[in-house]
Amino acid sequence: MGPFSVSAVGFGAMRLTGPGVFGPPGDRGEALAVLREAVASGVDHIDTAQFYGPDVVNELIRDALYPYPDDLILVSKVGAARDRQGRIIAAQQPAQLRQGIEDNLRTLSVDALPVVNLRLIGGSEPDAFFDDQLAAMVGARDDGLLKAIGLSNITSAQLLHALQVTDVACVQNEFHVGNRVSQPVLDECTRRGIAFVPFASLGFGMTGPDAVLGRSAVMEEAARLGVRPAQVALAWALAVSPTVLVIPGTSSRRHLRDNLAAASIELDAEAIHRLSST
């Protein structure tokens, strides 16, 4: 991931809150245990955001893992905030991005973050406002608040434009067997060796025939291999490009173990084709 070498399976920490990514988790002990077991099992990149909770997830990460292992890459994101009712609202202005970075540093108790994603909300074209946002990220990096810049919810045009301004360590867009809208962005990342870190690689954990974990192709492949549907979904994401790193989110150690084991599941070409065709 940019200047950092990390394992294929990381951890998405968003699910460690209460319902609706808001407030504290129902089981704080399990949330701390999930984080500790993840790192003890070799997870070396954790995706987070100050607006998860808000503050809740960053503070759990700090309480579980501080002082952080040298090789742990904390990846946060800026571009959103929470209102009084807990709704996620845009915080896209350059000054808000800077404030978001500083809020992350405070809640994670670090002086600098390895990677911060600029998480875009609205707008798909590279415009003057996007340039201002990139300038805020580059300014924060120049000031030593972060080491590498990532982009989230972007189009290929925005990625190509951003690359004229800065190195891009990673791209984080939604991508899974049920949603391949970002395939052109993934292809661009693959060509350029930029880490593509899909979010919702488990389709947000939903089941049912249209959801990732309930799709017949996923369930049939899982049954054929004697593994879990979630493991097939993750193995597929890892198989579609060598540049993919997955960050499945879970609040349970049981699911964490399943998800980490997905790294060693190899799908054959026929299975990849079948899963990609549904």
Ligand X SMILES: NC(=O)c1ccc[n+]([C@@H]2O[C@H](COP(=O)([O-])OP(=O)(O)OC[C@H]3O[C@@H](n4cnc5c(N)ncnc54)[C@H](OP(=O)(O)O)[C@@H]3O)[C@@H](O)[C@H]2O)c1
Active site residues: 52
The beta strand positions in the chain, using DSSP E, are 11-12, 45-47, 73-78, 80-82, 88-90, 113-119, 146-152, 170-172, 195-196
Specify the residue, 30 or 131, whose C-beta has the smaller distance to ligand X: 30
Phi-psi region of 122 (alpha: psi -120 to 50; beta: other; left: phi over 0): left
- Half-sphere exposure at residue 174, Cβ-oriented, CA atoms within 13 angstroms: 9
Nearest to 60 by CA among 21, 10, 25: 25
Specify the residue, 23 or 143, whose C-beta has the smaller distance to ligand X: 23
Question: Least CB distance from residue 172 to ligand X, whole Å?
Answer: 5
Candidate list 92, 152, 155, 158; residue touching ligand X; CB under 6 A: 152
Candidate list 6, 9, 14, 154; residue touching ligand X; CB under 6 A: 14
Question: Least CB distance from residue 14 to ligand X, whole Å?
Answer: 3
Candidate list 62, 119, 141, 274; residue touching ligand X; CB under 6 A: 119
Contact characters 208-237, ligand X, x per CB under 6 A = -----x--------------x-x-------
Candidate list 65, 108, 189, 200; residue touching ligand X; CB under 6 A: 200
Burial of 260 (0-12, 13-18, 19+ CB in 10 A): buried
Does residue 251 interact with ligand X by CB under 6 A?
Answer: yes
Instruction: Name which of residues 79 to 108 contact ligand X (CB under 6 A).
Output: none
Question: Least CB distance from residue 170 to ligand X, whole Å?
Answer: 11
Question: Least CB distance from residue 119 to ligand X, whole Å?
Answer: 5
Q: Tokens for 134?
A: 């990139």
Between CA 103 and CA 143 the distance in angstroms is: 15
Residues in the chain: 278
In this chain, which stretch among 107-115, 133-141, 179-187, 250-258 interacts with ligand X, using CB under 6 A?
250-258
Contact 194, 170 (CB under 8 A): yes
Contact 80, 42 (CB under 8 A): no
Specify the residue, 243 or 251, whose C-beta has the smaller distance to ligand X: 251
Does residue 47 interact with ligand X by CB under 6 A?
Answer: yes
Specify the residue, 143 or 208, whose C-beta has the smaller distance to ligand X: 208
Between CA 148 and CA 6 the distance in angstroms is: 14
In this chain, which stretch among 6-14, 59-67, 126-134, 177-185 interacts with ligand X, using CB under 6 A?
6-14
Nearest to 201 by CA among 1, 3, 5, 11: 11
Nearest to 126 by CA among 170, 150, 161: 161
Interface contacts to ligand X, rule CB under 6 A: 12-15, 47, 77, 119, 152-153, 172, 199-205, 213, 228, 230, 247-252, 255, 258-259
